[in-house]
Homo-oligomer: A and B are copies of this chain.
Amino acid sequence: MRCAILSIGTEILFGQIVNTNTVYLTRELNNMGFDVLYHHTVGDNASRLKSIIQETYKDCDLIVCTGGLGPTEDDLTKETIAEAFDDKLEMHQESLEVLEAFAKRRGWKEITPNNYKQAMMPTKATVFQNDVGTAPAFALMGDVKNSQDDSIYENKIIVTMPGPPREMKWMWNNKIKPYLLGFSDKTLSYKIIRTFGIGESKLETVLLPLIDSQTDPTIATYAKEGESSLRIASQRPTKEEADAAVMEMIDKVSEIIGKYIYSIEDEELHQVVGNYLIENDISISVCESCTGGMFASRLVEVSGISKVFDRGLVTYSNQAKIDELGVSKETLDTYGAESPEIAKEMAEGLYRVTGSRLCISSTGVAGPGNGKGPNGEVSVGDMFIGVCFDGETYVKEMHTGRDDRVVNRNSCMLTMFDEARKTIMKYSH
């Protein structure tokens, strides 16, 4: 099915809110096997909204709308959509009852006219009640006339959802997605493969023979700062066939780039590491200089991590490195704080203090600009990671060559997780 995502709301055009709904729905629709042809955003303006709807049906079958349904808005969105489908609004009995029950539960003194408007629906609509807010969603199906040239677009569908992302997601997952899957004649299966340590363009180059040689499964690359993902998708007559085609392609991909893959279940790197630590009861501590708490902060996102995470230290000053980790003043004076030698002493010191099986450290120059060491300049982007597992330590050196504090710190934090992953996979068996 060919579709467009239509966001309604002046606040998006003022830049007051970021349109995260469209990103979410784009991925969802693609993963359902729907073709997304357009994204449109239009303000709360009836004639522009109407004209966009008519134009879009020239080559789309479905419009997925968000926004324009709240209690402070007038009925512009609903009225315009109803009009496009040659329908009109009337009070929807079930929605009215839901609204009155809601008002009673909340102890409202009165239901304002604005609230009543939320229960008005196109007469031919399929209405979906909203368990997490007051605006119901609805779907309309039918013919749409182009008022410019009187041509008729047959059998078109529109679905509308409230704009607040929390409500939209609830409505999508519980009501709209199941409704739309009824129109899908394809069975799509897909997996997101996550990699670390290989750039998107290199990934594309090495996989090109695979990508070019077939049309199903499809392989698409997704870039994120410091990471690249692959989406492998197949559409077959049955789910079993689609699943099998995807798994077969994952095997082929793994033969080429297996060492970069850290998840075939769309998990994030810190989740993979955190869950592995928890499941295998491996204790961890971290001391950070250039990453300044980013690693600890990310690790603590993993639910249940308190079982294995002993402590994190942000030893930003030299004194903190000496006090907390017993780093030697001599090493600091000889090599400087941003050196592989200090990364090693930090990880080893942390192991002495905490006894955690995995102790990991970071130090280096995140920028802006180069750093100063006792032996001259330390280039920006030179960063060092110490990894101590059961008392054995190695240092991973990074030289990003980039003068960007945010990029460098993020890249160092992700590399710490990747080194942690490799280490625990290798030594803990």
- A interface residues (Cβ-Cβ under 8 A, vs B): 7, 12-19, 22-23, 26-27, 30, 36-43, 48, 51-52, 55, 58-59, 148-149, 220-223, 231, 286, 288, 291-297, 299-301, 303, 305-306, 309-317, 319-320, 323-324, 353-354, 368, 405-406, 409
Contacts and interface: CB of A to CB of B under 8 A. Distances in A.
Contact of A301 (B39, B299, B317, B405): B405
Nearest to A406: B301
A291 B301 contact: no
| Interface pairs A-B: 8 shortest CB-CB | A292-B300, A312-B314, A293-B296, A293-B293, A311-B320, A39-B41, A293-B297, A15-B27
Contact of A299 (B14, B15, B292, B354): B292
Contacts of A36: 13-15
Contacts of A296: 288, 292-293, 296-297, 314
B405 A303 contact: yes
Tell me the number of copies of this protein: 2
Which secondary structure dominates where chain A touches chain B?
A: mixed
Contacts of A59: 48
B313 A311 contact: yes
Contact of A313 (B43, B306, B314, B409): B314
A301 B18 CA distance: 23
A286 B314 CA distance: 9
Interface centre among A30, A39, A353, A368 (most CB of B within 10 A): A39
Contacts of A303: 368, 405
30 contacts: A13-B37, A13-B39, A14-B26, A15-B222, A16-B222, A16-B223, A19-B23, A38-B40, A38-B48, A48-B59, A51-B58, A291-B297, A292-B300, A293-B293, A293-B296, A293-B297, A296-B297, A301-B406, A303-B405, A305-B316, A306-B316, A309-B316, A310-B317, A311-B313, A311-B314, A311-B316, A312-B313, A312-B314, A312-B316, A323-B353
